[in-house]
A and B are shown apart, each in its own frame.
Chain A
């Protein structure tokens, strides 16, 4: 398939992944939902399940308001709403990795009010990257594996798990290649397209996504980059439910050249060590990867890393794209913005979305003003 077609497919999937997920079920697959990028998907994959990510939807709430207050983030509200409305009946179940207070409570609410056959929890330590928490996390991964095995009614073989780790690692390397290619050859692929083929992996079988990435890379390698005069930006935050923001940026003459998103770089970064016992290796990757703001690592870590990203990518500004009411992200904003400005003279803009949608007119005006400052 030619690159353009592939990218269009990915973009379409991003706009509405749900029909494709329903089709997976019709084809005999067993989709299991996950929300958080820390999910050890390899265990699900090795069990013959298909992990698919729920990243919310643009919709008005009809069912979830009976369970979640309006000051809860809209990812939790819209995902629960779809489940309660019966729109996710293709799911075999869901995995709740407890990253934040909202996910902790959402797990119980989901379990009590939906009837999927499978439900699993995995509790994360907040002291990621510190020796003291590693034994705990490893035991959580073992427990998670046991709960998946309990659902299957049989063991997940170590060999199968090793194979799944290889498949996932392959995908991670391919995405890294894509990011590297984009960084090396400006104008080869824009931020919207790159992100589209990255997030598409949440809604297809991993093997299929790897094939897609492989083909895309091959086709890109033979393409000559276009002259790119767009304003380079880094986007930082959690997830982009829709391609709207990146599309609008292109329209306004800006381009996302690097990201610090949990549906982007943070999800793919770092490989699982294939040389150690699989559970330990999975725990170690979660524990040592670039952490989510809902985890504590080292205080200086996030700002320095973000500044490095900005510098390496040549970005002229940072967009913080957040979900309203997301405390872990909101807490970091003042100090990240301050350090970006004081230490690197990098301006930033905070965009908050509620129910994944913006007033497009207002967003356009704010972005235009921001881009003028940069220019």
Chain B
């Protein structure tokens, strides 16, 4: 008989509630409002559960829930540790934002159900120990993500983004499995002088695995193909929820393993990946001719900067990482929502073919502009706070990289301005009066776009809520002390 304790661990619910919500959302997919409601309730319940400290027992009648309780599954452990709790909240809240934005901006029949399954898997990936199983969870999430990226699109070459995402996530798997084995062997090494050498391959394998999962290696990987092909909110979801979870897993590794934190090779590798990803996004952003590509460049720049922040061991850098993930959900979510509205009407996101569309859909244009400018770091948006935190960290250590980051922001801004000029330009004569007539999105879609845009600006002007959360996340880690 398996021993069952009097209370149940919260980790069980963190995995099961999104899965149950996914099933509900799938069954309710004909009724979009109910589907979205099921998804939001699922995320909200888990956030409420995790808002309690890890030492708390929640007195649910007949079913007390221990937030920090352990769940042993097939000999592995799932636990909500104190350092994992708030990162999980950020991941779930980001999913909540993106799923909420999709309420009136449909992203495909499977968006909510599959998104929730992915959410459940990445949450399991953050909580599971030993970490080798996190790699398996992320691989399973990647398989689901491939279906999500593809959605209902058909045709040759339409599967490139999904294929790349799946293949690159699969390539990360052996790196994690190999690292797990090397760590197991290195534990047998007792001589302190030999230990660092024993752990060295594991550190490098982990760095490579993280870089692959984050889309930094090889350059120009899934990010651009996915941003071009997938629904914009799907891109935002993957970039925020999955990549955010990977980022927090990286921080957890730094917290747990001294050899990983202290490895100069890992530091150099992550620095190289970060700078090149940032450079790639910055160099090509200004010249793009479609919003999908601008979205991809925004993603590259943001991922690059987060990788650079992960290389620092200061409270400010961890705060910047946590803030960046939360802000990315908002910025990319609002950008994606606006782009989704435009794409669904016009069937394109090319600047040239969207000429004048911003006049007909001003709210969509506003959401795109604010979301993209926020990633670029425009003052008055939530992204500016992220860049400010980044500058605080980089100005003390690496002025060149700081300048590259700022210039990458300018490059994105330039690309966004080009797109906006096209959106707001006078429609061409041959398109007739229909292209000039004002048109209106549905109330729900308009409200989503407007609310998202307002939140991006409000959190830019008063970032206290997110800053408090980021500070709390940073204080839960001790590796920089």
Real binding pair: no
By a beta-carbon cutoff of 8 Å, the part of chain A in contact with chain B is none
By a beta-carbon cutoff of 8 Å, the part of chain B in contact with chain A is none
